[in-house]
Structure 1
Amino acid sequence: MKYFLISLTLLLFGCASFPKKNNLESISGHTPTIINPYFSDLAMDYIYKAKINFADKSFGGIFVIKKMGPEHHRVVFTTEMGNKLFDFSFFKNEFRINFIPSEMNKKILINLLRQDLFVLINENPKILNQYRKMGDSIFIETKLKNNTYFYLTADERLYKILKTKGNKEKSSYIFAEIENDHAKEIKIRHKNIKLTIDLKAI
């Protein structure tokens, strides 16, 4: 009987939703219009020194994100000598590869980059719920392309995005050194996938 109760407890815990597993308290109140402002300025070129590690390969260089118009961004990654490593365009829900070399032209890598970059540039994901955790953090549950993400804010400033599946964290997007709606340092990490992206503003 004891083992049955322990197994049942573990099963129920394992099936719990992400908010329940992390002791998040549902709240209601003001819903922000833009919850991710970091690539929203049409007048600005967002330029970073970047390092992308995928499996056993490492790519370094200059990473540029430019907002071209409403729901329209272009993302270009070059070596420090100016040779393109990739050039992508995002317009609403459309994704276009303008350029990618053969060494990076791997379906799994392209899909991961597409997903990660879309998370970075999307300003207004569909908001489902809001939660609070002990302290000042607000968790905003959202939906992007049928995936669930939690946007973590403190003092109405976004500092982390978590992609989840069920009750588990699948990837994280961390924003630091934030100044005037400009995140000068961004780190992307995946669970169980050998992909890391580090961006530092220059």
Structure 2
Amino acid sequence: MLTGRFTILRVLTLLPVVLFFYSCSNAYQDLIPVEAPAHSFQPAYPFDFSVSNPVIYDLAIKTKKQYFSGLFILKNEGPQQFRLAMTSKLGNKLFDMTFDNGQFTVHQIIEPMNKKVLINMMQSLFTLMLEKKDLPDHTSYFKNQNMNKVYRWKEKGDWKTVMEDEEGKVMAYHSGNKKKPAVTIDFKGYKNGHPAQIELVNSKWVRFEMLFSQLDQK
């Protein structure tokens, strides 16, 4: 009986240590370095507005205390210029923003969403999702276990990562520290020139999620 108690106590003592090392594990440790010139490794762009413009998604936004859902309309209005709007299923506008070469302007937003933290997180995620990635000279090139291309570079204190699938289409964007992403964007499947599903997660401060599912347009 005493031995059993000591075993339980030992497990409880070691558990925080195990969790600490797990949290510090390197999410990119299995990447295989590749020597290649930058011109052969320029990443693809996930949206093709020559196929369809605008593109419409079902969108769900989740925070710890709030949940919003509706239709999201993304319209390309020029090189790196976008209109982003979200409406309820009844047609009430939830927000209306423009993205112009990295600069956001909020034209309209409902009061429950009009929080600085919420707006900043949406803008950081939209920037990561929409900005074209011009790889700097210090970019490192890799392949993952499926031999797909991966690009990593440091920018303004954060490590940026772009992953492609076997067809050369963008599979994920990451932003975070060298070993672990704090912001992830996963692109799942493609149709009509755009990702069929997009999952954006920011776990840097408080968990914030945006889940997109593309609608068929008639």
- Output aligned runs, 1:1-202, within 5 Å: 19=28, 22-29=29-36, 30-32=40-42, 35-38=44-47, 40-41=49-50, 44-127=53-136, 128-142=139-153, 147-155=158-166, 156-179=168-191, 181-191=193-203, 193-202=206-215
Measure the CA separation in 2 of the matches of 1:131 and 1:81: 46
Secondary structure of 2:127's counterpart equals: helix
Instruction: Give CA deviations for 1:44-102 in whole Å, capped at 9, x if unaligned.
Output: 11100111112211101000111100111111011111111111111112111111122
Post-superposition, which runs of at least 4 consecutive aligned residues in structure 1 deviate over 6 A?
Answer: none
Tell me how far apart the structure 1 counterparts of residues 186 and 130 of structure 2 sit (CA, whole Å).
14
Give the secondary-structure state (helix, strand or coil) at the position aligned to 1:103: helix
Note the aligned Cα RMSD (angstroms). 2.7
The answer to whether the Cα contact below 8 Å between 2:102 and 2:127 also exists between their aligned partners in 1 is: no
**185-194 or 98-107: which moved more?**
185-194
Distance, in Å, in 1 between the alignment partners of 2:156 and 2:91 is: 33
The structure-2 alpha-carbon separation of the partners of 1:154 and 1:43, relative to structure 1 and needing over 3 Å to count, comes to closer
For 1:116-142, what per-residue CA distance to the aligned partner results, in whole angstroms no more than 9, with x for missing partners?
111111123434221112222221124
- 3-state SS of paired residue (1:28): coil
CA shift at 1:40, angstroms? 4.5
Distance 2:52 2:214 in 1: 16
Question: Measured at CA, do residues 75 and 143 of structure 1 come closer, stay the same or move farther in structure 2, by a change above 3 Å?
Answer: farther
Map of 1:4 onto structure 2? none
Counterpart amino acid of residue 201 in structure 1 = Q
> How far does residue 145 in structure 1 lie from its aligned partner after superposition?
6.2
Deviation at 1:39, TM superposition (A): 5.3
- Number of residue pairs aligned between Structure 1 and Structure 2: 189
The structural deviation recorded for 1:147 is: 3.5
Q: Which has the higher strand share?
A: 1
